[in-house]
Chain A
Amino acid sequence: MSQLSLLGAGLPAADLPPIAAPDLEYALLAPLFVVAAGAVLGVVVEAVWPRAGRFTAQVVLALATVVVALADTIWVYTDLDVVDTERLGRGQVGGEGAVSIDGPGVFTWGILLVFALLSLLMFADRRLDGGLSAFTGRAADAPGSASEAEAVKARLEHSEVFPLALFALVGMMLFASSNDLLTMFVALEVLSLPLYLMCGIARRRRLLSQEAALKYFLLGAFSSVFFLYGIALAYGYAGSFRLSDVATAVGSRTGDEPMLLGAMALIAVGLLFKVGAVPFHTWTPDVYQGAPTPVTAFMAAGTKAAAFVALLRVFFVAFGGASWDWRPIFWIVAIITMFLGSIVAVSQTDAKRMLAYSSIAHAGFILVGFAGAYVGPAGADRVTSVSSILVYLAIYGVSSIGAFAVVAVVRDGNGEATHLARWAGLGHTAPWLAGAFALFMLSFAGIPLTAGFIGKWSVFSAAWAGGLWPLVVVGVLMSAIAAYFYVRVIVLMFFTDPVGDGPSVVVSGRLTTVVIAVAAVATVALGVVPGPLLDLAQHAGALVR
């Protein structure tokens, strides 16, 4: 108050409206603060730490931040209050109504932190490329220029990627738990901007990487604008940014119907872009291919998880009352996303592009569960749309990071050998690695006793319970097409003889090997004993508004 009165020189203090200091739930929001603080500290380290040990210092700082945040997230999760006794919900709205610290949100924090932990291990692996990280030494140098060669010779490294990743992470976490549309937009930008940057600084194939960054930035900015316009319309309709206020307005159907439909459509465009659903998917293959593989892994798992939870929040909470308006659109989007992702993946010859189209197909499968919009009966314990999508995201993310980690270690003299023809016979030269990749493929295909099966089962059962059995039948048929191209990779690795000298596999990438092993074990374990994960997601309960 006193400060304000100083600024408003000449005005009596009493004329100003009183501005209360925000009342924050520090204990509940601590995971966000920890990650943000880690990121800021990373920037400081970048400025003051001597170059020699800076990379290591950043690695240690980033990993420590994530581990601490993860531990705190678990503590927050176990400590959430039970609300809404009819339909189980946990948590509360905090941050002056900006953030919803509820079961699904905190669960998403947890899986995002696990994804970040695995991805950061890949970021930190410097054994794969002759003692240098996967990121270029000096991004400002033109590719192929003399100064670039100089930077390589001086063994320069961009250790800024660690704070950048942490900033993206805090954006993702906030995105998944925003309770008003404006916070959601801010979080969207916080998560996107570092990712645009990280996509463009690959050490190898720099032109491709820079192209990917530019494409991602332009298309991402374009979709953000759609999102923002949708927010404006939603505000015009409801008179508030808060999801619960929008829900009230939708429930009473006050206001202008076209404005509501416009708001839903434009917000859906922005969010479907982030999840990579057709027809807003075109950035996915180029960006996945061009970005440095550790970044691709982080992005594939993290962005998808955060964006899907945000999608759930907007459409289940804010627009839940208008579900009959938006559900048919999502059925169609789900079908064409599954179809296009699976069909186009069949003709891919590059491992990363193939995984990109696979991620599009998986967005389609998740949308099947989403379109079911099943909240479960009061008082009973059923697989709901929310819990099934949380399970799917956790499982898909882990398998996905594992698959990209394998891509990162299959290399030849020019870096990663991503052309699938170079993978022929990998099963004979590196049986364990190829076995792990085959396992991830089987999990993506949804074969029983792998985690992917449990994920697929969950979303399909939520969709069926929501009354969409035809969509489930379409979904399983699309799974069969998708299975065809996953199996094609297995055929290539195990049943085809290597052409010429096959790729050399760097097994000495110790950290990446750890990532592959963890992902493989998790893929099997969650397939055989999925109970704990399912219970955890179920325990998260409904979204709290």
Chain B
Amino acid sequence: MILTLLAAAPLVGAVATAVLGRVRSDEPSAASPAKAVALAASLVPLVIALVALGRYDLDEGGYQLTTQHEWIELFGAHYALGVNGIGLTMVLLTTVLTPLVLLAASGDRLDRPERMPTYLALVLVVEGLALAAFSATDAFLFYVLFEATLIPLYFLIGSFGGPNRSYAAVKFLVYNLVGGLLMLAAVVGLYVVSSRAGDASFLLSDLQQLDISTTTERLLFCGFMAAFAIKAPLWPFHTWLPDAAAQATPGTSVMMVSVLDKLGTFGMLVWCLGIFPDAADWAAPVIIALAVVSIVYGALAAIGQDDIRRLVAFTSVSHFGFIILGIFAFTTTSMAGSTLYMFNHGLSTAALFLVTGMMIARRGSAGIDDFGGVQKIAPIMSGFLLVAGLSSLSLPGLAPFVSEFMVLAGTYTRSIPAAAIATVGIVLAALYILIMYQRTMTGPLSDDARGVTDLTIREKAALAPMVVLIVGLGFFPQPLLNVINPAIDTVASHVGVGDPEPRTPTQINAPAPEGSGTEEGGH
């Protein structure tokens, strides 16, 4: 019930925002009630998510706060919600980021200012659908929500983005639809397999019990994985992301990269590994190779960008490489690291997109060469950029470092070459962030950048909580890991590969509580 409320609150807020925006749009202070309503509406899910966190019993683990109703009986589809540690982490990320995005986005200068309420409402719709998708425990429901998120995001990119937005929006949609439709074929196949085994059911717990023949399992895995790999995005399916991020508004980019793209990695971890563990094991070498290529390619491509937004997009390709690498290394350390990375990457990329968005809005250009010496006139903005950038390059003491270290440490026990090549990504990350910082912020103030002003209070308020969280989780990641670890143990036992014999004891993991597996847990 609480999860239903959680997902419904932003959707109701979206309707309220759109309606109130319409009512008051005749007056000069056009969208201000809509802005306040949207912000308030996004705080409600945050409160609900915190309540959910409080009510989630960490010792028990597994899926909790569950709701289950028949939805489409003939298809075996249920309206079934529930979260485990992974889902809860993603829910927290989404609910934390959305208010900050709305706060930052309410200052965006749109082509048509009167459409601000629509813009904010669509962001809330994305939030609602994402929250529902992260807590869905029925494959059909998850698929429906996974695909449905495309529509509001498509309108966000296409209606409110830069000059080339319509191309970017269509490219975004077509790429994601191809993946989604391949997943649709796999969902259909899953229905057929499930209905042959008895009564058709799409519940995760039922699907995990399903006995699928090897070939079918591999085919179905490929269908699911295609959707998630395009979404995440994994090289070579990433090309939609830089275009979309370069055209979208910063707020849209955050919702897209920090929240919705996590559905891809979340899907791999929960759905691919949950339903097709053997096929995942079979495909792991290829996916690990692609993930390593993603890490290096994304970093190299980021170094070569002139456009700040494309640069940030390519850093995400690299970071998603780390996340996917950790998931398919199949060690508890690396998978827990990946889950933590999903949260931390969400924070650091959101901060990076928002602060660069503020820079770009002030300068009127996204070219790195159009800035220079901005630090002198906008020290606070430059400070935020530095912290966000350093977190993106995984500086020790900031949150992403912990997760990146865990991914690499876990991968190392599985595959030394993969871990070794991936480590190159860290070095390259230092290059792309620091070169960008150096060229935009340091040196003599360029004449063109003279008009840049420092951040307003509203913008500081949007960025500060992210920085606090990045620093806080950098020093003290354990509370979040306590939420994540039991769920990861369940996934790992389900995959059944098991951790390799430790060559060095790792203390990051809390000892796995015995019997923490739930009824949905593996065999």
Q: Which of A461, A477, A535 contacts B192 (CB 8 A)?
A: A461
In the complex, the answer to whether B72 meets A534 with C-beta atoms within 8 Å is yes
Q: Decide if B189 is an interface residue (CB 8 Å cutoff).
A: yes
Taken residue by residue from 147 to 169, chain B's Cβ proximity to chain A (1 for < 8 Å, 0 otherwise) reads as 11011001100110000011001
In the complex, the answer to whether B189 meets A491 with C-beta atoms within 8 Å is no
Residues of chain B in range 192-237 having any CB-CB distance to chain A below 8 Å: 192, 195, 200, 219
Q: Decide if A495 is an interface residue (CB 8 Å cutoff).
A: yes
In the complex, the answer to whether A531 meets B182 with C-beta atoms within 8 Å is no
In the complex, the answer to whether A469 meets B148 with C-beta atoms within 8 Å is no
Q: Decide if B501 is an interface residue (CB 8 Å cutoff).
A: no
Q: Decide if A229 is an interface residue (CB 8 Å cutoff).
A: no
In the complex, the answer to whether A469 meets B189 with C-beta atoms within 8 Å is yes
Interface centre among B72, B166, B181, B195, by most chain A C-beta atoms within 10 angstroms, is: B181
| A residues less than 8 Å from B169 (CB atoms) | 491, 495
Please, how many angstroms separate the alpha-carbon atoms of A480 and B189 in the complex? Answer: 18
Please, how many angstroms separate the alpha-carbon atoms of A476 and B188 in the complex? Answer: 11
Nearest chain-B residue to A465 (Cβ)? B192
Please, how many angstroms separate the alpha-carbon atoms of A230 and B176 in the complex? Answer: 45
Q: Decide if B424 is an interface residue (CB 8 Å cutoff).
A: no
Q: Decide if B184 is an interface residue (CB 8 Å cutoff).
A: yes
Q: Decide if B73 is an interface residue (CB 8 Å cutoff).
A: yes
Please, how many angstroms separate the alpha-carbon atoms of A21 and B71 in the complex? Answer: 51
| A residues less than 8 Å from B166 (CB atoms) | 491, 495-496
A448 in contact with B74 given A464-B189, A479-B181 (CB within 8 Å): no
Q: Decide if B80 is an interface residue (CB 8 Å cutoff).
A: no
Please, how many angstroms separate the alpha-carbon atoms of A383 and B196 in the complex? Answer: 12
Q: Decide if B40 is an interface residue (CB 8 Å cutoff).
A: no
| B residues less than 8 Å from A381 (CB atoms) | 74
Measured between C-beta atoms, what is the minimum distance from A524 to chain B in Å? 12
Q: Which of B71, B170, B182 contacts A487 (CB 8 A)?
A: B170
Taken residue by residue from 481 to 500, chain A's Cβ proximity to chain B (1 for < 8 Å, 0 otherwise) reads as 00110011001001110000
In the complex, the answer to whether B173 meets A487 with C-beta atoms within 8 Å is yes
Please, how many angstroms separate the alpha-carbon atoms of A411 and B174 in the complex? Answer: 31
Q: Decide if B420 is an interface residue (CB 8 Å cutoff).
A: no
Measured between C-beta atoms, what is the minimum distance from B21 to chain A in Å? 13
Measured between C-beta atoms, what is the minimum distance from A189 to chain B in Å? 37
In the complex, the answer to whether B188 meets A461 with C-beta atoms within 8 Å is yes
| B residues less than 8 Å from A382 (CB atoms) | 195, 200
Q: Decide if B143 is an interface residue (CB 8 Å cutoff).
A: yes
Q: Decide if A447 is an interface residue (CB 8 Å cutoff).
A: yes
Please, how many angstroms separate the alpha-carbon atoms of A469 and B192 in the complex? Answer: 10
Interface centre among B147, B169, B173, B177, by most chain A C-beta atoms within 10 angstroms, is: B177
Please, how many angstroms separate the alpha-carbon atoms of A380 and B200 in the complex? Answer: 11
Please, how many angstroms separate the alpha-carbon atoms of A486 and B102 in the complex? Answer: 31
Q: Decide if B178 is an interface residue (CB 8 Å cutoff).
A: yes
In the complex, the answer to whether A487 meets B174 with C-beta atoms within 8 Å is yes
Please, how many angstroms separate the alpha-carbon atoms of A496 and B184 in the complex? Answer: 31
In the complex, the answer to whether B178 meets A480 with C-beta atoms within 8 Å is yes
Q: Which of A448, A472, A477 contacts B188 (CB 8 A)?
A: A472
Please, how many angstroms separate the alpha-carbon atoms of A380 and B185 in the complex? Answer: 23
| B residues less than 8 Å from A456 (CB atoms) | 184
A494 in contact with B159 given A476-B185, A483-B177, A535-B74 (CB within 8 Å): yes
Q: Which of A442, A445, A460 contacts B185 (CB 8 A)?
A: A460
Q: Decide if B144 is an interface residue (CB 8 Å cutoff).
A: yes
Taken residue by residue from 79 to 114, chain A's Cβ proximity to chain B (1 for < 8 Å, 0 otherwise) reads as 000000000000000000000000000000000000
Measured between C-beta atoms, what is the minimum distance from B223 to chain A in Å? 8
| A residues less than 8 Å from B159 (CB atoms) | 494-495
Residues of chain A in range 495-545 having any CB-CB distance to chain B below 8 Å: 495-496, 530-531, 534-535, 538
| B residues less than 8 Å from A531 (CB atoms) | 71-74
Chain A contact patch, size range: 35 or more
Q: Which of B73, B158, B174, B195 contacts A495 (CB 8 A)?
A: B158
In the complex, the answer to whether B75 meets A447 with C-beta atoms within 8 Å is no
In the complex, the answer to whether B150 meets A534 with C-beta atoms within 8 Å is no
Please, how many angstroms separate the alpha-carbon atoms of A174 and B185 in the complex? Answer: 35
Q: Decide if A330 is an interface residue (CB 8 Å cutoff).
A: no
Q: Decide if A473 is an interface residue (CB 8 Å cutoff).
A: yes
A477 in contact with B181 given A447-B151, A472-B188 (CB within 8 Å): yes
In the complex, the answer to whether B170 meets A488 with C-beta atoms within 8 Å is yes
A449 in contact with B158 given A472-B188, A496-B166 (CB within 8 Å): no
Please, how many angstroms separate the alpha-carbon atoms of A531 and B165 in the complex? Answer: 38
Taken residue by residue from 463 to 474, chain A's Cβ proximity to chain B (1 for < 8 Å, 0 otherwise) reads as 011000100110
Q: Decide if B384 is an interface residue (CB 8 Å cutoff).
A: no
Residues of chain A in range 423-477 having any CB-CB distance to chain B below 8 Å: 442, 445-449, 453-454, 456-457, 460-461, 464-465, 469, 472-473, 475-477
| B residues less than 8 Å from A538 (CB atoms) | 74
Q: Decide if B240 is an interface residue (CB 8 Å cutoff).
A: no
| A residues less than 8 Å from B271 (CB atoms) | none
| B residues less than 8 Å from A476 (CB atoms) | 181-182, 184-185
Q: Which of A457, A464, A496 contacts B75 (CB 8 A)?
A: A457
Measured between C-beta atoms, what is the minimum distance from B499 to chain A in Å? 36
| B residues less than 8 Å from A487 (CB atoms) | 154, 170, 173-174
| B residues less than 8 Å from A442 (CB atoms) | 151
Please, how many angstroms separate the alpha-carbon atoms of A531 and B74 in the complex? Answer: 7
| B residues less than 8 Å from A449 (CB atoms) | 144, 148
In the complex, the answer to whether A469 meets B195 with C-beta atoms within 8 Å is no
| B residues less than 8 Å from A460 (CB atoms) | 184-185, 188
| A residues less than 8 Å from B73 (CB atoms) | 531, 535
Nearest chain-B residue to A472 (Cβ)? B185
Please, how many angstroms separate the alpha-carbon atoms of A448 and B219 in the complex? Answer: 22
| B residues less than 8 Å from A448 (CB atoms) | 143-145, 147-148
| A residues less than 8 Å from B184 (CB atoms) | 446, 456-457, 460, 476
Please, how many angstroms separate the alpha-carbon atoms of A477 and B165 in the complex? Answer: 25
Q: Decide if B341 is an interface residue (CB 8 Å cutoff).
A: no
Q: Which of B74, B145, B189, B191 contacts A534 (CB 8 A)?
A: B74
Nearest chain-B residue to A382 (Cβ)? B195
A484 in contact with B72 given A472-B185, A473-B182 (CB within 8 Å): no
| B residues less than 8 Å from A472 (CB atoms) | 185, 188-189
A473 in contact with B185 given A465-B192, A480-B174, A484-B170 (CB within 8 Å): yes
Measured between C-beta atoms, what is the minimum distance from A506 to chain B in Å? 23
Measured between C-beta atoms, what is the minimum distance from B173 to chain A in Å? 6
Measured between C-beta atoms, what is the minimum distance from B70 to chain A in Å? 8
Nearest chain-B residue to A537 (Cβ)? B74
| B residues less than 8 Å from A461 (CB atoms) | 75, 188, 191-192
Taken residue by residue from 50 to 86, chain A's Cβ proximity to chain B (1 for < 8 Å, 0 otherwise) reads as 0000000000000000000000000000000000000
| A residues less than 8 Å from B177 (CB atoms) | 445, 479-480, 483
| A residues less than 8 Å from B200 (CB atoms) | 382
Interface centre among A383, A472, A495, A534, by most chain B C-beta atoms within 10 angstroms, is: A495
Please, how many angstroms separate the alpha-carbon atoms of A435 and B174 in the complex? Answer: 20
| A residues less than 8 Å from B189 (CB atoms) | 464, 469, 472
In the complex, the answer to whether A491 meets B158 with C-beta atoms within 8 Å is yes
Measured between C-beta atoms, what is the minimum distance from B340 to chain A in Å? 30
Nearest chain-B residue to A454 (Cβ)? B72
Q: Which of A457, A469, A477 contacts B219 (CB 8 A)?
A: A469
| B residues less than 8 Å from A483 (CB atoms) | 173-174, 177, 181
| B residues less than 8 Å from A530 (CB atoms) | 72
Q: A383-B75, A476-B182, A531-B74 are in contact. List 13 more A-B contacts (CB 8 A).
A: A442-B151, A445-B177, A447-B148, A449-B144, A456-B184, A473-B185, A477-B182, A494-B158, A495-B159, A530-B72, A534-B75, A535-B73, A538-B74
13 interchain pairs, CB-CB under 8 A: A382-B195, A383-B74, A447-B148, A460-B184, A460-B188, A464-B185, A472-B189, A480-B178, A483-B177, A491-B169, A530-B72, A531-B72, A535-B74
Interface residues, chain A, with chain B CB atoms under 8 Å away: 380-383, 442, 445-449, 453-454, 456-457, 460-461, 464-465, 469, 472-473, 475-477, 479-480, 483-484, 487-488, 491, 494-496, 530-531, 534-535, 538
Closest 8 CB pairs of A and B: A476-B181, A448-B144, A495-B166, A448-B147, A480-B178, A495-B158, A476-B185, A460-B188
